Amino acid sequence: MPKISVIGAGNVGATLAQRLYEKDLADVVMFDIVEGLPQGKALDIFQASSYYPTDYTIKGTNDYADTAASDVVLVTAGAARKPGMTRDELLAINASIVRGVVSEVVKHSPDCILIIISNPVDAMVVLAQQVSGFANERIMGLSGALDGARLASFIAMKLSIPAAKIEPCVIGEHGENMVVIPRLTRIDGKPLTDIMDQDQCQALCQRTIKGGAEIVSFLKTSSAFYAPSAAVARMAEAVIKDENLNICAVAFLNGQYGIKNVACGVPVVINKKGIAKIVEYQLTDSELEALRASAQAVKDTVSKIN
């Protein structure tokens, strides 16, 4: 039986566990340090299984031993961004949480694929790689799958078409230095730049870059979790089903796009090996410059941790 563990049973973690369980994909284990929280939420999710039938199990726990031999481990543990807080301000808190979590996870699931969600995610992927010692392809992070879905939703609203028809391209850092590329965003195979003028494209890019902050400004005391959990559930599904899914995600770069020794969002192919491939698009000079600046911003963040 495939097994997926979700670390952190907060807004993102619990919604993610629910989505995974309802996708009928694998046994799901939800871990949190708060006693009772993962147990209560797992029991609640299980009690919905009359309506979402599955042969898999779901368990909440405060003991890492229950996560043993997971195929995929999804790390959502950490503090959420509060209004006015930048992703970088979360750095010190989340770096210490992610360091502790990853060292426990890899003891119990040495062969897993690790997907990091905790922010700032690009730097957390680098940290997770350092702590785990895993090969680069076995670690990835949630960025473009979410940011691209946000861009698709804004395009869908503007054009009154289903978001699922849109193939978005959002790379770079999951934050202020995100690189949204309308030229490579396609609707029925047509570039967005053929459908909208430059000002309209720019407005959508800006809204995408600020997509997380827009949700925080509504919710006030928490950050987004429905779209993040949907995007990461899709990534985990691609690993479990060995799909060769084309999507954008945080991956460790080793010379691709002229970038080395850091992780940031790029187009990838996901299968049971994790990042099966990093896809190298022909970028324009200005797109490439923006991507490299984004990678440098991640390096700067990582240097603040170390």
Interaction site with ligand APR (CB under 6 A): 7-13, 32-34, 37, 76-78, 80-81, 94, 97, 100-101, 117-119, 222-223, 225, 228
**What is d(CA 143, CA 122) in angstroms, rounded to the nearest whole number?**
8
Query: Cβ distance 166 to 187 under 8 Å?
Result: yes
Question: Least separation, in Å, of the C-beta of 275 and ligand APR?
Answer: 20
Give the nearer residue to ligand APR in terms of CB position, either 37 or 187. 37
Chain CA centroid to CA 67, Å: 20
Minimum CB separation of residue 236 from ligand APR in Å reads 15
What distances in angstroms separate CA 158 from CA 31, 179, 203, 215, 276, one per listed residue?
40, 21, 11, 18, 34
Please tell me the distance from the alpha carbon of residue 183 to that of residue 202, in angstroms, as a whole number. Answer: 11
Gap between the Cα atoms of 249 and 52, Å rounded? 29
- 101 or 295: CB nearest ligand APR: 101
Pair 29, 41: CB distance under 8 Å: no
The one-character DSSP state at 102 is H
**Least spacing, CB of residue 39 vs ligand APR, in Å:** 12
Q: How far is the CB of 89 from ligand APR (least distance, A)?
A: 11
Using DSSP bridges, classify how beta strands 139-141 and 113-116 pair: parallel, antiparallel or unpaired: parallel
- Catalytically active residues are 174
Q: Considering beta carbons, is residue 76 or 271 the nearer one to ligand APR?
A: 76
If the CB atoms of residues 57 and 222 are measured against ligand APR, the closer one turns out to be: 222
- CB closer to ligand APR out of 217 and 284: 217
- What's the CA gap between 303 and 301, in Å, rounded? 5
Please report how close the Cβ of residue 19 comes to ligand APR at its closest, in angstroms: 13
Position closest to ligand APR via CB: 10
- d(CA 158, CA 150) in angstroms, rounded, equals 13
